[in-house]
Amino acid sequence: MVPKVIEWVGAKEEDVVWRYPDEEIAWGDNLIVHEYEAAVFFRDGKAYDVFRAGRHVLTTANLPLLTRALSKIAGFDKVPFRCTVLFVSLKQFQGEVRRPKPD
């Protein structure tokens, strides 16, 4: 299986947060976090691990809290595992908040 790249591509100046659309993550996938953002791994509504700028190959060693949570679940050794990855902008925003208009 070819490792996939998990990255926030096309972020706009006013974007604050973005959810990676695929929740199936595999050990060995590549996570790219730009210098102005952080990536947070969630499972079952809890934040487990946070990555700062850099290129990271996902392993049990660099996802210790999520690995611990998954090890309590039967079938943990299955690849891929399910989690949510949110990218959060670390830029400082000024001015008013603009909300998108409802459809």
How far apart (Å, rounded) are the C-alpha atoms in residues 81 and 21?
14
Q: List the one residue out of 41, 86, 37 whose CA is nearest residue 59.
A: 41
Mean pLDDT, to the nearest integer, of 81-101?
Answer: 83
Domain residue extents for the chain: 5-89
Residue 46, strand partner residues: 43
- pLDDT band for 77, please (50, 70, 90 cuts): low
Quick one: CA dihedral 23, 29, 32, 37, positive or negative? positive
Would you state the pLDDT for residue 85?
95
- Report the mean per-residue pLDDT for the chain: 84
Between 71 and 36, residue with greater pLDDT? 36
- pLDDT band for 72, please (50, 70, 90 cuts): low
Quick one: CA dihedral 81, 17, 36, 38, positive or negative? negative
Q: What is the pTM of this model?
A: 0.76
